[in-house]
Amino acid sequence: MVTGITRFHYDAGMADSDPNPGAAYLLGHSDEELARLGRQAKLVDPMTRRFFESAGIGPGMRVLDVGSGAGHVSFILADLVGPQGQVVGVDRAPAALKTATARVEAAGLRHVSFLEGDPATMAFDAPFDAVAGRYVLMFQPDPVAMLRGVARHVRPRGIVVFHEPDWVGARSHPVVPLYERTWRWIWETIERNGVDGRMGIKLHATFVAAGLPAPMVALEALIGGGDDMERIRYLTEIVGTLLESIERAGIVTADEIGLDTLPDRIAAEAKACGAVMASRSEIGAWCRGSA
């Protein structure tokens, strides 16, 4: 039995989920955006999985997926806990939940289910062995309160694990000016819209402020050269989704961005100087709650 479910209407959404009902979300849940999230998941899922495995999530566990979105993280958790475990995903975006439910039904994952609501205020009939989330806390006006709210759902000594980005980590060597400008366009836009682009590096302090033990922390990043078009398009597709917001913020115009040729121009600059380009930092933090 689940109680305390609150339903919200969203004009748009962002990242893997819609965790904050008060924000005007930048990326939305259009079919195109959900497809982009699928391509993003292909690149970042292996990192998320390593964070979850390091945290100790394993067979037979019952796990709460906070801000489950289109279900990409729930699929990782479902594989880790196996058919004897259980994954409950919670999100506020009906469109994302519809996609997630269709995906798990198509995959025959009977041990995964989804609920619409606020995971920080909902009540469940039994505690979870672990609470997990990806790209959730960065959207919260009060990430400490959010973390404290969801951590109460874990049993004594249960696992709390989150994966968040730090956009400042993006860099290139030798410097690829267009690549680094592109990252700054995104970071400046999300920051101006109330999103904490440095949440990853703040996870340690956030756990402690929420009353949790100091977490273990790990950092990974995508990295590649000018021939790595998959990773370059991972960046430029975000620009495409955010284009109107970037222009509205007065950061740069669509003509200056030149979205249609942006991936090829970044690749050409990188190839010309033999550069390697690292994406934003992907940071995981985890701990076991109090006894």
CATH number at residue 260: 3.40.50.150
Closest-CA residue to 29 (of 67, 86, 83): 67
More confident residue, 290 or 123: 123
Reply yes or no on whether the pLDDT at 174 is more than 90.
Answer: yes
Cα torsion 272, 275, 276, 277 to 10°: value is: -80
Task: Find the mean pLDDT for residues 217-222.
Answer: 98
Give mean pLDDT, residues 215-227.
97
Q: What is the DSSP letter of 191?
A: H
Q: First-to-last CA distance in the chain? A: 25
Q: CB-based contacts of 224: which residues, under 8 Å, 6+ apart?
A: 231, 232, 276, 277
27, 53, 198, 146 alpha-carbon torsion, rounded to 10°: 80
**Sequential DSSP letters for 76-110:** HHHHHH-TTSEEEEEES-HHHHHHHHHHHHHHT-T
Percentage of the chain with pLDDT > 70?
A: 89
Q: How confident is the model at residue 4 (pLDDT cuts 50, 70, 90)?
A: very low
Q: Is the pLDDT of residue 146 over 90?
A: yes
- Strand, coil or helix: 277: strand
Mean pLDDT over each residue of the chain, to the nearest integer: 89
The mean per-residue pLDDT over the stretch 65-92 comes to 96
* Number of domains within the chain: 1
pLDDT in tens, 9-31: 222 233 444 444 334 444 445 66
The domain in which residue 62 lies consists of 2-288
Confidence of residue 35 (pLDDT cuts 50, 70, 90): confident
Q: To which H or E segment does residue 186 belong?
A: helix 177-192
